[in-house]
Amino acid sequence: MKFTWFGQSTFIVEFGGKKLLFDPALSANPLAKDLNIEDLEADYILISHAHGDHVADLEKVVDRTKATLISNYEIVSYYGAKGYNGHPMNHGGKWTFDFGTVKYVNAVHSSLFPDGTNGGNPGGFVVWGEEGCFYFAGDTALTYDMKLIPLTCPKLDVALLPIGDNFTMGFEDATIASDFVECDKIIGCHFDSFPYIEIDHTKAKDAFSKKGKELILLGLGESITL
Ligand code: NI
Ligand code: MN
pLDDT at 189 (0 to 100): 98
Distance 20 CA to ligand 2 centre (A): 19
pLDDT at 96 (0 to 100): 98
pTM exceeding 0.85: yes
Backbone angles phi, psi at 49, to 5 degrees: -165, 180
pLDDT at 182 (0 to 100): 98
Distance 54 CA to ligand 1 centre (A): 7
Give me the residues of the chain with pLDDT under 70, please.
none
Name the burial class of residue 218, with classes exposed (0-12), middle (13-18) and buried (19+) by CB atoms within 10 angstroms of its CB. Answer: middle
Distance 110 CA to ligand 2 centre (A): 10
pLDDT at 93 (0 to 100): 98
pLDDT at 71 (0 to 100): 99
CATH number for the domain formed by residue range(s) 2-225: 3.60.15.10
Distance 151 CA to ligand 1 centre (A): 26
pLDDT at 157 (0 to 100): 98
Backbone angles phi, psi at 130, to 5 degrees: -65, -30
**Are the CB atoms for 41 and 12 separated by under 8 Å?**
yes
Among all bound ligands, the one having the nearest atom to the CA of 110 is: 1
Domain boundaries, the chain: 2-225
Q: What tens digit of pLDDT does each residue of 114-133 get? A: 999 999 999 999 999 999 99
User: What 3-state DSSP class applies to 36?
Assistant: coil
Distance 140 CA to ligand 2 centre (A): 9
pLDDT at 225 (0 to 100): 98
User: What 3-state DSSP class applies to 78?
Assistant: helix
Letter string b/e over residues 132-146, b meaning 16 or more CB atoms within 10 A of that residue's CB: bbbbbbbbbebbebb
Backbone angles phi, psi at 46, to 5 degrees: -100, 125
Among all bound ligands, the one having the nearest atom to the CA of 197 is: 2
pLDDT at 135 (0 to 100): 99
